[in-house]
Amino acid sequence: MATKSTDSFSLYSVTKDNKEQILKNWVKTQLGALSMRLDLISAEQIENESREFLIAFIEALSLGKTENVDQKSFDKARTFLGNISRSRALKGFSPSETATFVFSLKEVTLPYLVKELSSDPKLFLSELTLLNDVIDKLGLYTFEVYSKSREDVVSRQSRQIMEMATPIIQIWDSILAVPLIGTLDSARTQIVMEKLLEIIVEQKSKVAIIDITGVPTVDTMVAQHLMKTVSAIKLLGSDSVITGISAPIAQTMVQMGVEFKGITTRAIMADGIRYALEKLGKSIDTRK
């Protein structure tokens, strides 16, 4: 019976010829990993994702251009791997748990390289180097996608927290109030003001009360955001009033050269509410 020459073997042929066994061992390794979170992903999903990626991986190897995983031959494998990385980042997997998907493929493929190429040390070393290089680069790509996805999650959560920390309240028909409390930075001010403008449009509000009684300091950037917001509210056909400007903040804003021309202010929020009602042709009866 004729036997195959080792010259006919390569990482591609070894992987292709042993695909089903490699897949079986790969899934088993992932399921057996202490870090694998079966509370976040099912065994069936792990097997399906592993099979689909292995097919794409073998297809990339078949094209013979494996010097760089960024090239077109790896597009399908890289895209699929990116989707897995993003999905697992959103589900709460750790970086190491996510990377296990890629790096464990090296572990289960190696025995088949040894089995098929051990009689040709030179070829074995060449294909082993290729296996290490390709998997390591794909693993690095996994980390990059994972990190970017986590950054996006953290950024979105931070934005949501900032929005929740500063509620926009409808205190009367067509009147909104924004009670700002705590230290304001440029990012928080920008988010709150964008949300305010969105709600003014959605609810067709006529007056917005921006209360900064609980704000200890205001820097140049925050002041500029406030002024731009007032201007934007006017462009929407609505009115606004800033209340609760403390003496230190007023002094700081004057020193910064902030122009108050065309901006309505009131000492306290109650006066701001009274102003807003008057703009709507209403009034508060304070008689007992």
* Residue 36 to residue 106: CA distance in whole angstroms: 17
- pLDDT, tens digit, 9 for 90 and up, residues 43-94: 899 999 999 999 999 999 988 766 678 788 899 999 999 999 888 888 888 8
The proportion of the chain whose per-residue pLDDT surpasses 70, expressed as a percent, equals 89
* Residue 11 to residue 282: CA distance in whole angstroms: 81
- CA 249 to chain CA centroid, nearest Å: 35
Q: Round to the nearest angstrom and report the end-to-end CA distance of the chain.
A: 111
**Diameter over CA atoms, the chain:** 111
**Beta strands across the sheet bearing 175-181:** 169-172, 175-181, 207-214, 239-243, 265-266
Mean pLDDT of 161-190: 79
Which residue is it, tokens 């009670």?
179
- Which CATH number applies to 6-160? 1.10.490.70
Question: Residue 161 has what pLDDT?
Answer: 59
- pTM for the model: 0.56
Sorting pLDDT into bands at 50, 70 and 90, what band is 253?
confident
For CA atoms 272, 273, 274, 280, the dihedral sign is positive
Of 3.30.750.24, 3.40.250.10, 3.40.50.300, 3.30.9.10, the CATH number of 169-279 is 3.30.750.24
- CA 25 to chain CA centroid, nearest Å: 33
Q: Is 76 exposed, middle or buried (0-12, 13-18, 19+ CB in 10 A)?
A: middle
Sorting pLDDT into bands at 50, 70 and 90, what band is 2?
very low
φ, ψ of residue 131 to 5 degrees: the values are: -60, -50
Q: Which residue type occupies 5?
A: S
Domain locations along the chain: 6-160, 169-279
Average pLDDT, the chain: 85
- pLDDT, tens digit, 9 for 90 and up, residues 205-244: 999 999 999 888 888 888 888 888 899 999 999 999 999 9
Question: Residue 3 has what pLDDT?
Answer: 39
